[in-house]
């Protein structure tokens, strides 16, 4: 389960992984992003 889920006005949901190493941006497609890079 994600630690935090944010829902913005554009229906973009950010899932933050438990270790906070990656987050998944869901806006019709799934992309894995490393915010620490």
Domain total in the chain = 1
Tell me how far apart the alpha carbons of residues 23 and 1 are, in angstroms, rounded to a whole number. Answer: 12
Please give the pLDDT value at position 2.
Answer: 53
Please give the pLDDT value at position 20.
Answer: 46
Please give the pLDDT value at position 28.
Answer: 44
- What is the tens place of the pLDDT at every residue in 1-37? 455 555 444 444 454 445 444 545 455 444 555 555 4
Beginning with the edge strand found earlier in the chain, give each strand of the sheet holding 13-16 in spatial order: 5-7, 13-16, 23-26, 30-33
Parent domain of 26: 1-37
Tell me how far apart the alpha carbons of residues 15 and 31 are, in angstroms, rounded to a whole number. Answer: 11
pTM equals 0.13
């Amino acid at each position: 389960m994600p630690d935090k889920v944010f829902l913005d006005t554009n229906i973009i949901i950010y899932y933050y992984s438990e270790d906070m190493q990656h987050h998944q941006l869901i806006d019709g497609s799934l992309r894995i992003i490393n915010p620490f890079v």
